[in-house]
Amino acid sequence: MIGRARLLIDLAALAHNLRVAKNAAPTSRVFAVVKADAYGHGLVSAARALGAADGFAVACVGEALALREAGIAQRILVLEGAFCGAELAAAAKFGLELVIHAEWQLQLLEKDGTRGISRLWLKFDTGMHRLGFELDAGMDALMRLRSLAPVPLGLMSHLACADEPTRPETAVQIERFRRLRLQVPDLPGSLANSAGILAFPVAHYEWVRPGLMLYGVSPLSGQRAEALGLRPAMHFGASLIAVKEVAAGEAVGYGGDWRAPCRIRLGIVGAGYGDGYPWRGATAGSVRLHGHRVPIIGRVSMDMLAVNISKIPAAAPGDEVTLWGRGLAVEEVARSAGTTPYELICGVTRRVQRDYSPESSLDPGVTLD
């Protein structure tokens, strides 16, 4: 059937990848990170597939409320915390856990109170220099939090470079967090993201926060997802919508940037940057058709892209094309486009049809490239 771009989300792969995370950190509890619409996989559907997690982590209160409205009962951690009194009230009403990372948030709590909030996680900046208190200010904040109405507390930080395990910054951050925990050993800690879970067991503590690995994407630079036991959860596909011959010397696409070196057979795929396929650097990449890689030629358009199918004479309109997913890792597409897998999986647009499979959609006969 001829059709436009579509996503197939493998719910079984999500559950499998969660088991990999839990097995890698067997003494820790797990906040499954489902912010940004579960990295483009669908917030509620992904959370239900990840139901074996001890809790979920989201960026904002709005995402947390969407989970509660869908009947998700597990603990929910809001990584950016509350931004106003109304969000504090919502956190109390729906039993949310909030990160406190700045003085203004502490003042908001001192003004409006903490009654009903399930837990407050005080965030320390151990070296990423994004959110969090410096050590001395954070210890003062901890004393002020303890002076408020009793509420369970925790300590957390975030690793900046754990995806590159040989870099020295991670060891520095881990040591800073270790020294912090020595001062308050009675409070639970959370430090490890996906890369930290897999590469730095010393960073596990009581809670880990897997994100990217849950979606079957390698969080470690230079390591393939399947080598880590992960399965891709997102298959981004489309169809050939046209096939034609192009003479030698003829240009293809906007700007005439690419010209045929000889007579070629050209396929037009019904997907483009309007669907979330990357425009920049795409001509260095390829798609998968009939089990083979075929190169992208010319500029990616809003709704279409062109591929050279000269070596696949059987290709015809309606044939399935893999943009990334089964047999073509999103990490590879990201490298070709000079970007990160995070941007690609989060960036598939809303016009793309989404389907969810409760069973594994990965054909055992497919070899992942």
Alpha carbon distance, N-terminus to C-terminus of the chain: 26
Q: Which of 35, 39, 123, 205 is flagged as catalytic? A: 35
Give the tens place of pLDDT for each residue, 92-102: 999 999 999 99
Domains and CATH numbers, the chain: 11-218 (3.20.20.10), 234-357 (2.40.37.10)
Give the span between the Cα atoms of 187 and 172, in whole angstroms: 21
Give the span between the Cα atoms of 276 and 294, in whole angstroms: 19
Q: What one-character-per-residue DSSP string does 80-111 give?
A: T---SHHHHHHHHHTT-EEEE-SHHHHHHHHH
Average pLDDT (43-47) is: 98
Residues 6+ apart with CB under 8 A from 353: 3, 4, 5, 6, 7
254 is known as an active-site residue:
yes
> Which of 221, 205, 194, 298 minimizes the C-alpha distance to 252?
298
pLDDT of residue 108: 95
Burial class (CB in 10 A: 0-12, 13-18, 19+), 127: buried
pTM score: 0.94
Q: Which of 123, 205, 254, 342 is flagged as catalytic? A: 254
Give the tens place of pLDDT for each residue, 64-94: 999 999 999 999 999 999 999 999 999 999 9
39 is known as an active-site residue:
no
| Cα 28 from chain centroid (whole Å) | 21
Does the pLDDT at position 369 exceed 50? no
Give the span between the Cα atoms of 353 and 344, in whole angstroms: 16
Give the span between the Cα atoms of 204 and 198, in whole angstroms: 10
Q: How confident is the model at residue 211 (pLDDT cuts 50, 70, 90)?
A: very high
Q: Considering the chain, what is the average pLDDT of its residues?
A: 94
Query: What letter represents residue 11's amino acid?
Result: L
